[in-house]
Amino acid sequence: MGDPVGHSLSPVIHNAGFAAIGLEAIYEAVQIPSGAFASVVSDLRSGRFHGVNVTMPHKDDAYEAVDGRDDLATRSRSVNTVIVSRGHLHGYNTDVAGVRYAMDLLELPDDLPILVLGYGGAARAAVVAMSQRVVYLSGRNERRAADLAGSFEGSPTVVPWGTGVDGAIVVNATPLGMRGERLPEPTLVHAAGVLDMAYGAEPTPMVSWARASGVPHADGIDMLTGQAFSAFELFTGLPAPRDVMALAARSQ
């Protein structure tokens, strides 16, 4: 559920997983305009949907709409997966698992600092996922970045937009790159690695830069796949067929 969702690989990933375990289920992408999340809540409570993944711009609405939340959703103050049971809506945040999965793919030391770009639900998930590290935060709206930083215990350090942090892993939690937008060069020039949550039909400029520069990188498809494993297990109660789902994510 989101807007836009036409580019989403989630249906391909989940339907491949359902087929692999012989489960009769269908995962569809449904476009829900901003401000219309109440219709999703109604469809969940009526039994039309057994569960949903939620993406931009509805994660905050989902957080407010559910009847209960898991610890990661509470800490990140963002819900991206909703499961319905007997009319009760429970919210989860599997983006945190997605960030951790993608970061593991970089195979970099686990004591490097993290620079998170953004201040929305994806940025909150990244800060929670990396809470054991030194975290820096940067956003185009510095006040909103500061507000996000202040909402966490041991507040991340806010740095001005366009500023890099030497030796940090840069996590792009903004939409920049989905349509070819470039991040400010100083943000990346001294990065030890990058994770770009944005993805599209072609590699984002951030990922293209990392490839050309020989910098370890993971992309939004890696993160999407990692969070899909957790969501799949919440939806089904069964272990995710990870190899099948990861292959499906890269087959398009």
Positions annotated as catalytic residues are: 59
In our burial notation (b when 16+ CB lie closer than 10 A, e otherwise), range 78-115 reads bbbbbbbeeeebbbbbbbbbbbbbbbebbeeeeebbbb
As a whole number of angstroms, the distance between CA 172 and CA 194 comes to 8
Total residue count of the chain as it appears in this document: 252
CA-based angle 115:118:124, to the nearest 5?
A: 85
| Calculated CA dihedral for residues 163, 164, 170, 172, nearest 10 degrees | 20
As a whole number of angstroms, the distance between CA 83 and CA 240 comes to 16
As a whole number of angstroms, the distance between CA 109 and CA 204 comes to 25
Q: Which residues touch 236 (CB under 8 Å, ≥6 apart)?
A: 18, 21, 23, 25
